[in-house]
């Protein structure tokens, strides 16, 4: 039928502007056509004036849409160029692999690397060069919310699905991303029940919203990211192996900034110039001492931390050069590894004794503070499932 052909048009790139012509004027068909991407709908016999008016509007719409797409791609290109500065061989290999993986419409891509190395930037690069570029890119941080919130965010819910649900229900991100790309950051933190539901979506291309009785069909590509080795998590039983194989058809590993010594100064100069424009400053470069300090930092926060460092200096200082004195706040960070597990945790035992619960509280508190009060990092440090850590934080009144 015409509606079936219309659905196939959505897969073309760029997707054409479509006007449907039919002998039947049924509201249901009109709504279906519009939902499947039709610009307008004409009923036979077609009035010539109406036909001319509709075609003119469609052409104008198509021109505006193409201009928006062009401008959006240009903005993305300008936004991304700084993140892709560098000559490090491993980083260049990752870029090549990302561009090649973009040619696929459906292949799962797993991007691994420490926090701040640019995993979401790579995911956006893949999406913006893929056949799905004209459709949404939707991101979700799986470590940022509880199991219940993640489930409702992903799958949506119907009216009255649970206490506190919005009266009109809510569309889930799976539907919001329909036709496009869903990016799952820190996918390793997904609860096992949600992993199972996500696997079914990948296999069947459909799902039930929470409290729903009618299946929703979706056509999405899933890109995922993780700041630790996802296969090792699967081997340890923390992640489903069958879901891993679905998500990691292609795997991209991004190196930390400390392993990209040759890229630190070019990135710093790029950020300096970008931030000069943002704040109306006139910094021309870095003193030898400032360059030495930048090159000897551990950069645990990677490219994101480097940009924040340059932004702090450009915002607060008014010289024409970035000096070593401007970067004295970095001295507190040794060049050695700054990961929480590289320092020993020592618990003193009082002479009059101590309860196991108090020892547990001290250990978890120390780890929680050392990991920047980040629950996901703390759970990995203590080798606990994240939901168990959250339970213990509440039980021991540590978050308060």
More confident residue, 350 or 225: 225
Examine the pLDDT at 1 and tell me if it is beyond 80.
no
pLDDT digit string (tens) for 142-154? 988 888 889 989 9
pLDDT band at 2, cuts 50/70/90? low
CA-nearest of 306, 382, 380, 360 to 143 is 380
**Token digits of residue 260:** 């990209």
CATH class of 2-74: alpha beta
**Token digits of residue 187:** 């996918």
Residues 277 and 12: their CA atoms lie apart, in Å, by 39
Which residues, 6+ apart, have CB-to-CB distance to 110 below 8 Å? 187, 223, 224, 225, 226, 230, 244, 247, 248, 250, 251, 252
pLDDT for the residue numbered 336 = 41
69 to 15, 66, 378: CA distances (angstroms): 11, 5, 42
pLDDT digit string (tens) for 256-297? 999 999 999 999 999 999 999 999 999 999 999 999 999 999
DSSP string, 122-159: HHHHHHHTSTTTTS-EEEEETTSS-HHHHHHHHH-B-T
Burial, 361: exposed, middle or buried (Cβ in 10 Å; 0-12, 13-18, 19+)? middle
pLDDT digit string (tens) for 165-203? 555 678 889 999 999 999 999 999 999 999 999 999 999
Residue 14, preceding peptide bond in cis (omega within 30° of 0): yes
The CA radius of gyration of the chain, in Å to the nearest whole number, is: 26
CATH class of 85-253: alpha beta
CATH number for the domain whose boundaries are 258-332: 1.10.8.60
Domain with CATH 1.10.10 in the chain: 345-395
pLDDT for the residue numbered 314 = 96
pLDDT band at 355, cuts 50/70/90? confident
Residues 168 and 158: their CA atoms lie apart, in Å, by 7
Residues 320 and 337: their CA atoms lie apart, in Å, by 32
pLDDT band at 158, cuts 50/70/90? confident
**Token digits of residue 168:** 């009109």
Q: Are 131 and 272 spatial neighbours (Cβ–Cβ below 8 Å)? A: no
pLDDT for the residue numbered 396 = 81
Beta bridge partners of 182: 138, 222
pLDDT for the residue numbered 337 = 43
Which residues, 6+ apart, have CB-to-CB distance to 193 below 8 Å? 147, 151
More confident residue, 316 or 1: 316
**Token digits of residue 178:** 């329909």
pLDDT for the residue numbered 106 = 94
Residues 329 and 340: their CA atoms lie apart, in Å, by 20
Examine the pLDDT at 254 and tell me if it is beyond 50.
yes
pLDDT for the residue numbered 308 = 94
Residues 64 and 56: their CA atoms lie apart, in Å, by 12
Give percent of the chain with pLDDT exceeding 90.
45
Q: Are 140 and 182 spatial neighbours (Cβ–Cβ below 8 Å)? A: yes
pLDDT for the residue numbered 12 = 59
> Which range is most confident: 75-89, 315-329, 380-394?
315-329
Domain with CATH 3.40.50.300 in the chain: 85-253
pLDDT digit string (tens) for 48-73? 888 888 888 777 777 766 665 655 55
Examine the pLDDT at 47 and tell me if it is beyond 70.
yes
Burial, 268: exposed, middle or buried (Cβ in 10 Å; 0-12, 13-18, 19+)? buried
Q: What is the DSSP letter of 208?
A: P
Distance of alpha carbon 349 from the chain centroid: 44
User: What number is the average pLDDT over the span 384-389?
Assistant: 77
Q: Are 232 and 239 spatial neighbours (Cβ–Cβ below 8 Å)? A: no
Residue 340, preceding peptide bond in cis (omega within 30° of 0): no
Residues 104 and 250: their CA atoms lie apart, in Å, by 11
CATH 1.25.40 fits 345-395, yes or no: no
């Amino acid at each position: 039928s015409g509606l079936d052909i219309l659905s196939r048009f959505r897969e073309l790139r760029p997707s054409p502007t479509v006007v449907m012509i039919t002998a039947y004027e049924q509201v249901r068909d009109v709504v279906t056509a519009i939902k499947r991407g039709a610009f307008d709908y004409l009923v036979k016999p077609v009035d010539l004036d109406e036909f001319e008016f509709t075609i003119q509007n469609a052409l104008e719409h198509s021109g505006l849409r193409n201009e928006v797409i062009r401008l959006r791609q240009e903005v993305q290109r300008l936004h991304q160029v700084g993140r892709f500065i560098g000559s490090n061989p491993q980083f260049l290999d990752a870029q090549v692999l990302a561009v090649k993986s973009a040619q696929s419409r459906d292949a799962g891509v797993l991007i691994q690397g420490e926090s701040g190395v640019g995993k979401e930037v790579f995911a956006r690069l893949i999406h913006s060069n893929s056949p799905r570029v004209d459709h949404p890119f939707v991101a979700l941080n799986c470590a940022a919310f509880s199991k219940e919130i993640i489930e409702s965010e992903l799958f949506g819910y119907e009216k009255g699905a649970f206490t506190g649900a919005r009266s009109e229900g809510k569309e889930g991100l799976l539907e919001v991303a329909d036709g496009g790309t869903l990016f799952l950051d820190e996918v390793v933190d997904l609860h096992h029940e949600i992993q199972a539901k996500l696997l079914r979506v990948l296999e069947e291309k459909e799902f039930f919203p929470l409290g729903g009785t009618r299946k929703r069909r979706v056509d999405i590509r899933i890109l995922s990211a993780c700041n630790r080795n996802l296969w090792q998590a699967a081997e340890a039983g923390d992640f489903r192996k069958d879901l891993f194989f679905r998500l990691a058809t292609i795997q991209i590993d991004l190196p930390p900034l400390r392993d990209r010594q040759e890229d630190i100064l070019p990135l710093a100069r790029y950020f300096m110039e970008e931030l000069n424009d943002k704040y109306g400053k006139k910094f021309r470069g870095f003193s030898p001492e400032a360059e030495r300090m930048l090159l000897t930092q551990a950069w645990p926060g990677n490219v994101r931390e480097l940009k924040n460092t340059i932004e702090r200096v450009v915002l607060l200082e008014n010289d024409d050069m970035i000096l070593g004195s401007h970067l004295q706040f970095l001295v507190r960070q040794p060049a050695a590894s700054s990961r929480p597990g590289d320092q020993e945790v020592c618990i003193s035992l009082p002479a009059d004794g101590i309860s196991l619960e108090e020892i547990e509280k001290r250990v978890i508190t120390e780890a929680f503070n050392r990991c920047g009060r980040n629950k996901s990092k703390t759970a990995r440090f203590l080798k606990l499932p994240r939901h168990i850590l959250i339970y213990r934080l509440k039980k021991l009144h540590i978050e308060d």
